[in-house]
Amino acid sequence: MPTDRTSDAGSSDAAPHLGELEELVLLAVLRLGADAYGAALRKELRERAGRSVSVSTIYVTLVRLEEKGLVRSEMGAPTAVRGGRAKRIFALTPAAVTALEAMRGRRERMWEGLDDAAEAVRRAGKGGR
């Protein structure tokens, strides 16, 4: 059975385009669930994606994602560990999951049939350049 490969490029209800950092931040929020706050997101991005990103960059990205309707946030309870300060906790909206699934599908379609070509480039590069 063929899969639906309809382009979303011209669709008015298409999932929003995500930049790489936006995609990685959304995936980290999804993975962390109720623990999705600045420092935890930074650690997740460093450990899983190999990206060293400042907390301020993460927050700027989260604000942009909130403006796009892809995340929502709320203040957690203040804790003694944080000197009485509260954490801002982030969560995905259903639109974020749709956008992530769309990005995943695009990547998979772009990679389709390219394993042999990538291997050929890798082999050719071993000869030195």
In a domain, 81, yes or no: yes
Cα–Cα separations (whole angstroms), residue 92 to 31, 53, 83: 10, 20, 27
What range does the domain containing 88 cover? 20-125
User: Number of structural domains, the chain?
Assistant: 1
User: Which CATH number do you get for residue 90?
Assistant: 1.10.10.10
In a domain, 68, yes or no: yes
In a domain, 12, yes or no: no
pLDDT band at 30 (very low <50, low <70, confident <90, very high): very high
The predicted model scores a pTM of 0.80
In a domain, 24, yes or no: yes
Is pLDDT at 89 greater than 70 in this prediction?
Answer: yes
The predicted model gives 15-25 an average pLDDT of: 92
pLDDT band at 60 (very low <50, low <70, confident <90, very high): very high
For CA atoms 40, 24, 113, 127, give the dihedral sign: negative
Residue 101's closest CA among 36, 18, 39? 18
At residue 8, the pLDDT reads 45
